[in-house]
Structure 1
Amino acid sequence: MERYSSPQRFILTGGPGSGKSTLLEALRQSGYRCYEEVSRQLIREQMSRGTGILPWENMADFAELAVRSMYRQHEESSDSSGICFFDRGIPDVFGYLGYYGLPVPSHYLTMFDSCSYQPEVFLLPPWKEIFVQDRERPQSYDESEALSLWLKAAYTSLGFNVIELPRCSLQERVELVTSVTG
């Protein structure tokens, strides 16, 4: 599969609490097809089941759930045309695994290789003023900063052009993203 074919799939990435979901919702309201972060849904499901398969307790098993859900989400977007946005992509799992000192299983790379994402990835850096912890996001601000570095490294190592968005208004972030995506 050609890496940069239609639909044009763009990824928003960054550590927890950096404003990805807020930006994604603003892009949705601007008329773009958007795919929510699978991790938060998985965390809610695993918490309600009491499985212990949570990123801060069992990253290896959580990563397996996440990468499969992200792959399905990517496949679901195949019937789209035009531009769509994802709150995290498969390479985010690679960054998280690195942060936790875990290897990336070879079948994750195989799944990634069969996906087509645009070469530009939007990194939302840690932003202390908007950072909030909750049940599904217990990481500290310092952990968010460290994860952001791992995420940037993961995308860069895979050949993506990582565009770091400034800490600015939501409207300015939307305008910056759409100036790149067209």
Structure 2
Amino acid sequence: MVAMLVIMMVILVLTSFVGTLHPASNVEVIDSRTLHLRGEFVESNLGTALEPDGSVTVRLIAQQYDFVPRCVVVPADTPVKFRLTSDDVIHGFLLPDTNVNTMVVPGFVAEVRTRFSKPGDYVMPCHEYCGLGHQAMWAHVRVVPWDQFAGQGLLERTSCAIQ
């Protein structure tokens, strides 16, 4: 009986060490120290971008205690790809009532894909404790009809306050 417990503990410890070497989402690394300065996550690239194939890519940075940008607008019934990274600590990214739920780990790019079937608003909380201001870390995804989305510029797609 004791031998079985020891074996189970050894297996548990070994799998925890091996598991920490591999992030849960796609394995794409990024330099957290310079992500604001160059590359995909510079400020001018954040928010919603329309891709040539008609899909949408949303780029966000999670940081204590905010998602940047705090609100994004996406079209309904269109493939949406969220690409996120963190410049400080581990954060969670969750869109309730969807298939979107991932960890945002510094040094890695998290990528999740979804399609919103109808217009509506989604609250986007950080669901991984990230410090004393964690409870205030949330953002917003606004899903609008395609024709409304197509008529918006970049500024309208990254600020729900303008609409």
Structure with max Cα Rg? 2
* Higher RCO (CA-CA < 8 Å; seq separation 6+): 1
Could you state the TM-score of these two structures normalised by the residue count of structure 1?
0.28
More helix, by proportion: 1
More strand, by proportion: 2
